[in-house]
Structure 1
Amino acid sequence: MDRRSPQRPGTAGGFWNGGPAPPGLMNLSTQILRALGDPVIAVDEQGDVIVWTPAAERVLGFPVDEVLGRPLPEVGIRVETLLFGRERRVTLRRREGGEFPATVTATPLPGPDEGMVLLVKDLTPWIGPGGDDAASTDTLIVEERLGAAFRGIVEATGSDLDRSGRLEALAQSLAEQGRRLLPGISCMIAVVPATRQDVFHCLAGAGPFAETLVNQTFRREETVLDTALRGKRVVERNDMQVASGRRDLFVAAGVQTMRAVPMSTEVPLPDGRRALGAIVFYRAEARSFSDAERRLLDDFGALVGLSLQRAEVRATTERAMARLQLAVDVALDLARSLDVGEVVRRLVRRAAVATGADRCALLRIEGGEDGEMVTEAAHDVSGYDGGVGNRGPVAEQQLVRDAIARREPILGGQQNLAPMAAEIRRALGDVCHTATVPLVYGGEVIAVLVLSRRRDQPFGKEEADTIKLLGGPAALALRNSYLHARTEEASRVKTDFLDMAAHELRTPLTVISGYLSILREGAFGPAPPRWDDPLRILDQKAAELRRLVDDLLLAARLETGRLEGLTQPIDLREVVEQSAQAADDVPELLLPQDPVVVSGDREQVSRLVDQLVNNALAYGREGSPRWARIELEARPEQGEARLAVEDRGRGLPPEVGERIFERFYRYEDPDHPMVPGTGLGLYIASELATRHGGRRGAGPAHVTRRVVQQYASPSSRTARPLRPRRGARTRRPRRASARPGTGRPGAPPPAGSRPGPAPAAPGRSPRR
């Protein structure tokens, strides 16, 4: 049978001519193709029609009998221009001559034979009938190219997200898309930087001429690009070799025509900008672009503007987050030290790096805007003199005065160099731009940062925002360091006073004690009996005063680190026994049978135990006998010993459990009478324990004062000074024994026996 005949084997319902197929499949295919509302056409490798659905007959007007087995009729579909999988906008013609807009999508025909299936979509219900200028061939070409460019923009912005918002890479990809819009053109994207809004920066370019402009910066005024951006309108000129302010560039490149499409936004960016820049198209001929080409370029420019606006928003947000992170880092860095010198050195260095400044100086303000300024520190990338210590009136520097008065950064030019020293004038002589930043805390300007740039790049809004973020933690760090310095000075003065007072009191106290001893011994003759009580009271008060002087002197030496000592093996059990025996009221003892040898200065360890015991006895419960218990526990596994002194006193609130070890701190219970004292006892005990490598703590209820002391290692059994000093004397430790629970001298316990505790308070078991 003739292949071009309307009917031949394999026809199914008059619209299939693809050869024999299984009956079931043919019935299903027939039903599917008949059900489709849009035309479906299939052609073989020779271009002859092999499928023509009823929808194709209805929309295009050609009966199936006229087209099957014959070349595709002239309906406006050029098969050779179609690409598989790509939809193309076309204008189709019906048999009676009418035209309508449609899209045609080509897909390969399944099977061994080459061919294609055409899916036709009538667009009349959506955009109306075709045939006018909107559906002309040029317009369709423009729309097709714009669609391709739009897909390129989508791909570019998508990859930009993957590249974490690199604006340069995105702009270059968009410029390359713009160059492909029309043959023989170049495309350049120029932006207005956030830090310098008086210039254009050529961010990206594609094409011979545009590529030579990349990374160049031009001033905005009196340029064609600025005219377009300020007027928010497209500007096209074909006399650029005459009209341009840089006509040398256009003459050298042979470019005459330019079309500039402005990129701006009604909603300001996070940094306050509304003008983004412009996208510019160039070509060599002095020939204007056609209406279709203008529409293509302008629409593409609008798409590019939206893409760059989105990228700028993201980049601005990331810069804001980076500034916030920088402020956090600066705050943490400054908080690492309370030394004023170290804080100001870190601050000026950090501020210079964060803002891209060539020099940063910190001026301490004394007396406000009518006072004086003192240079505390300076960081200069060129190594110029910092002028540390220079002093001058605030009134001499108007920028500093304005910053103090307004409490906000002042962006300006060079400072007043006239009153400055010669070396400072040399350092600041070539400075072009400055930012003067007040550091405000509690409404008071405590210092001023002066940032300087020697290059012609003014400080912008973003640098000002960065400076403001740095100002808060910087002011707080400076204030804390100043307060710490004042506190340290006050503490030093107080310690020096205590040391001096203790030394000055010791001499007259020694004389008083000596004369009391002479009176008691009767060196001036027998004392009348009525003197016995006064002499006894004077002797007690002299002893109390002697202990106070010793505590003051010891506390002062501990505070200044001037306390010296001799480290040697000592039996802590023996020290405890002697301290218990010397106490006014003998405490209960829970001691191990074997010696507990630790390393330390014997006199200082004895003082530690004395302070704990005296404190426990002093703070007994009113109306109850004075009572304390000392428990010493050896811990060979941990290599340490534990000493606990317990009382039945008033107890402590949890919030003051650690404060009782502070110098001069005293906790007074309003329900109990005040106990005489200075608040130095537990402080001395705590410092001595720390000095000997121990730990201390306090229980919250009936107070238990605990000290954990390390064992003496075998290598430490020889005496050595705690601090190197000349003339340190080695004292042999004295051995003494006491019966557990009594503290009195006596025979040592039998071998193998273990001392038992003294009777505990009712309802309480001995601590072990």
Structure 2
Amino acid sequence: MPSEIPADKLRGILEIVRHANAEMDLGSLIALITQQACSLLEADRGSLYLLEKETGELYSSMALGLSGKTIRLKLHQGVAGLVAAAGQSIIVDDAYSDARFYRAVDETTGYRTRQILCVPIKNRRGDVLGALELLNKRAGTFTPQDEELLSLLASQMGVALANAQLYDGLRTNLDRLSRLMKVGAAISSELDLDALLRIISQTTSHLLQAERSTVFLVDRARGELWSRVAEGLDRQEIRIPLGAGIAGTVAATGALVRITDAYTDPRFNPEVDKRTGYQTRNILCSPMRNARGQVIGVFQVLNKRGGDFSALDEQLLASLSSQAAVAVENAQLHDEVQRAYVQLQALDKMKTDFLNTISHELRTPLAPILGYTEILLSGGMGALPSSCLRGIQAIEESAKRLLALIENLLVFVRLDQGEMALQREPVDVSSLVGRVTEAFQPKVEEWKLTLVREVPDGLPPVMADPQELTVALSHLVDNATKFTPAGGQVTVTARAVAGDGGKAAVEIAVQDTGIGIATENQGRIFERFYQVDGSLTRHFGGMGIGLAVAKQIIEAHGSRVMVESEPGLGSTFRFTLPAAA
């Protein structure tokens, strides 16, 4: 057979083979083969069809003279489909009188096919890779010699096409993997749920080369799918019952759905198309599963550009789904935390407002109670029997205790609202410690404690707000006396130390011989309303805000309260303030 082929034709085939073996881009190789085959055999137009194993169809996106159009044929459909199915060449002298001719392509393009020469393309194992089809010889008709020549060219092109397909598949997979990694990075950094769904929809369309995508999430409480982000639609929220429509069915069954012709599928609801004017052709709908395997959402992707969705698209969407599920659950958790935070802020404000109101309301009636008890005890309203005197003294003590609690609440509210504005000035530490310890003297005597003041002469004054510092030190002393049993000792000390950068400073400490604090509880004692042991609170009294208030005041001065304690051996609270310049 080769001897019957003219030498110039053989040289032409060898030249085509040389160029083809050097070309690894599939699209460029197909264009090269089609153009050179038409030139070699003087044909008007040509198409190279490749067999898509997944669908069992032939497709050609490179038809000479039909730029930009993709042709798809089933096996046994048209001349090319018959050639690919049988693996044998066909010559047609009069297309429109031959029943094997598929007229739809001409009807679509407006081209008039007269003659056809089509040969199979096979690999080295003899498997059919596709078909090479030439149309309308410019002079005369296609001959058996033309068939032999084109068959020889096709036999040489099989290896080049197989290599180019492998290279194209590898390049496509690498490109998609790269884009998938970029998508994963983009969605993993977004915590706003609506913004995340928008990114996922857009990147899904780009990744699968589709026109539109929608990400639905499952609302199990309502038994629905919902989305506020759908490409091509308004931001109006969409809700679909689980089990209804294609997306609802996928959510309910967890099974992927791929539809090549939406309007012939009974599950497709055309109402959305009618409302929007959009024309849905094909659909890929996949479940979104979390790490536990639960379906938490659905991807619905519409209209693959240039054909139908493939098994590779399914795999790609499944990979994207696993990444998206993690990002969606993170965003939902962030959304829940944000809502809970807003609720907590509202509750915290209500609590603060309540404490502020109740404190002022309690304080108002206490003023006349304390005023009249003072008048009665001083004899301003006449001498009182001894039995009455003890009762009025009890009233006065209880009223003063209640007033102290109210004052603490007011301080707490003020600090909680961030209303503390320090009025710093030089403060004499000796005088400050003296005032505080003197105020507690009646209490320690009643509780049979010893209160010791150890402040050396010549201490430098510190820069502080005298009123706030008095409150903080009073709370520390009150805490020490409260948890020190009878016979114990509370010591308030002050000494000169080197502060930050070696600058002069004064350390103030309150030490007791009380019950002590376990190491595991030392980190929580400064929390508001926290008590290590509720039974101790009931025994010693207090609301658990004294240390919290002291801590806030000391930290507002730029210092920290340090704690040293062991159960049964007592506790020491100390802080340092800079000396006044």
The TM-score with structure 2 as length reference comes to 0.65
User: What does residue 340 of structure 2 align with?
Assistant: 486
Cα distance in 1 between the residues matched to 2:93 and 2:536: 97
User: What does residue 626 of structure 1 align with?
Assistant: 490
Cα distance in 2 between the residues matched to 1:496 and 1:363: 35
- Compared with structure 1, are the counterparts of its residues 321 and 681 closer, same or farther at alpha carbon in structure 2 (3 Å cutoff)? farther
Q: Secondary structure at the match of 2:419?
A: coil
Q: Secondary structure at the match of 1:216?
A: coil
Candidates 542, 545, 549, aligned match of 2:405: 545
Aligned residues between the structures: 524
Aligned pairs for 1:129-278 (under 5 A) are 155-157=22-24, 169-173=25-29, 175-176=31-32, 184=40, 200-202=59-61, 210-221=63-74, 222-226=77-81, 231=85, 234-239=87-92, 242=95, 243-245=101-103, 246-247=105-106, 256-261=116-121, 278=130
Deviation at 1:542, TM superposition (A): 1.5
Q: Which has the higher contact order (CA 8 A, sep 6+)?
A: 2
Deviation at 1:506, TM superposition (A): 3.9
Cα distance in 1 between the residues matched to 2:94 and 2:511: 101
Aligned pairs for 1:9-24 (under 5 A) are none
- Compared with structure 1, are the counterparts of its residues 617 and 349 closer, same or farther at alpha carbon in structure 2 (3 Å cutoff)? farther
What is the root-mean-square deviation of aligned Cα atoms in Å? 5.9
User: What does residue 308 of structure 1 align with?
Assistant: 165
User: What does residue 116 of structure 1 align with?
Assistant: none
Q: Deviations over 1:181-229 (max 9, x none)?
A: 8971688655689999978351xx5xxxx55345421233335555566
Q: Secondary structure at the match of 1:387?
A: coil
User: What does residue 197 of structure 2 align with?
Assistant: 348
- Compared with structure 1, are the counterparts of its residues 152 and 624 closer, same or farther at alpha carbon in structure 2 (3 Å cutoff)? farther
Are 1:406 and 2:253 matched, yes or no? yes
Q: Deviations over 1:254-282 (max 9, x none)?
A: 8732324268999xxxxxxxx99746364
2:188 alignment partner AA:
A
Aligned pairs for 1:347-746 (under 5 A) are 347-356=196-205, 358=212, 360=214, 365=219, 367-369=221-223, 377-378=228-229, 380-381=231-232, 384-388=233-237, 394=241, 397-407=244-254, 426-427=275-276, 448=297, 451=300, 453=302, 460-461=313-314, 462-512=316-366, 514-522=368-376, 526=384, 528=387, 530-531=390-391, 534-535=394-395, 538-539=398-399, 541-550=401-410, 553-554=413-414, 558=416, 562-566=417-421, 570-571=424-425, 573=427, 578=432, 581-582=435-436, 584=440, 597=463, 625-627=489-491, 650=516, 653=519, 663-664=528-529, 678=543, 680-681=545-546, 683-684=548-549, 694=558
Gaps of 5+ in 2: 96-100, 206-210, 441-450
2:132 alignment partner AA:
V
User: Contact conserved, 1:228 with 1:234, CA < 8 A, in 2?
Assistant: yes
Deviation at 1:628, TM superposition (A): 5.8
User: Contact conserved, 1:193 with 1:199, CA < 8 A, in 2?
Assistant: yes
1:626 alignment partner AA:
V
Deviation at 1:530, TM superposition (A): 3.9
Deviation at 1:509, TM superposition (A): 4.9
2:336 alignment partner AA:
Y
User: Contact conserved, 1:200 with 1:277, CA < 8 A, in 2?
Assistant: no
User: Contact conserved, 1:181 with 1:297, CA < 8 A, in 2?
Assistant: no
User: What does residue 333 of structure 1 align with?
Assistant: 190
Candidates 275, 280, 300, aligned match of 2:132: 280
Cα distance in 2 between the residues matched to 1:175 and 1:355: 30
Deviation at 1:346, TM superposition (A): 0.9
Cα distance in 2 between the residues matched to 1:358 and 1:175: 30
- Compared with structure 1, are the counterparts of its residues 308 and 506 closer, same or farther at alpha carbon in structure 2 (3 Å cutoff)? same
Q: Deviations over 1:627-670 (max 9, x none)?
A: 465678786869998978676785675x8776665555555699
Cα distance in 2 between the residues matched to 1:153 and 1:473: 46
- Compared with structure 1, are the counterparts of its residues 434 and 685 closer, same or farther at alpha carbon in structure 2 (3 Å cutoff)? farther
1:261 alignment partner AA:
I
Cα distance in 1 between the residues matched to 2:488 and 2:6: 108
User: Contact conserved, 2:359 with 2:410, CA < 8 A, in 1?
Assistant: no
- Compared with structure 1, are the counterparts of its residues 316 and 403 closer, same or farther at alpha carbon in structure 2 (3 Å cutoff)? same
Cα distance in 2 between the residues matched to 1:686 and 1:362: 49
- Compared with structure 1, are the counterparts of its residues 543 and 378 closer, same or farther at alpha carbon in structure 2 (3 Å cutoff)? same
1:316 alignment partner AA:
N
- Compared with structure 1, are the counterparts of its residues 445 and 463 closer, same or farther at alpha carbon in structure 2 (3 Å cutoff)? closer
- Compared with structure 1, are the counterparts of its residues 487 and 567 closer, same or farther at alpha carbon in structure 2 (3 Å cutoff)? closer
2:229 alignment partner AA:
A
Deviation at 1:350, TM superposition (A): 0.6
2:419 alignment partner AA:
E
Deviation at 1:625, TM superposition (A): 3.4
Q: Deviations over 1:550-591 (max 9, x none)?
A: 355346xx3xxx4435465x1364589637742645776699
- Compared with structure 1, are the counterparts of its residues 623 and 226 closer, same or farther at alpha carbon in structure 2 (3 Å cutoff)? farther
Cα distance in 2 between the residues matched to 1:590 and 1:454: 87
Deviation at 1:313, TM superposition (A): 3.4
Cα distance in 2 between the residues matched to 1:609 and 1:674: 23
User: Contact conserved, 1:408 with 1:438, CA < 8 A, in 2?
Assistant: yes
Cα distance in 2 between the residues matched to 1:311 and 1:146: 24
2:405 alignment partner AA:
L
Cα distance in 1 between the residues matched to 2:554 and 2:255: 51
1:480 alignment partner AA:
H
- Compared with structure 1, are the counterparts of its residues 487 and 615 closer, same or farther at alpha carbon in structure 2 (3 Å cutoff)? farther
Deviation at 1:494, TM superposition (A): 4.6
Cα distance in 2 between the residues matched to 1:321 and 1:657: 51
- Compared with structure 1, are the counterparts of its residues 667 and 429 closer, same or farther at alpha carbon in structure 2 (3 Å cutoff)? farther
Q: Secondary structure at the match of 2:189?
A: helix
Cα distance in 2 between the residues matched to 1:581 and 1:443: 65
Identity %: 12
1:518 alignment partner AA:
Y
Cα distance in 2 between the residues matched to 1:378 and 1:606: 58
Q: Secondary structure at the match of 1:200?
A: strand
2:406 alignment partner AA:
R
- Compared with structure 1, are the counterparts of its residues 257 and 151 closer, same or farther at alpha carbon in structure 2 (3 Å cutoff)? closer
Gaps of 5+ in 1: 1-132, 158-168, 267-274, 335-342, 712-736, 738-751, 753-768
User: Contact conserved, 1:695 with 1:708, CA < 8 A, in 2?
Assistant: yes
Cα distance in 1 between the residues matched to 2:392 and 2:543: 29
Cα distance in 2 between the residues matched to 1:656 and 1:182: 89
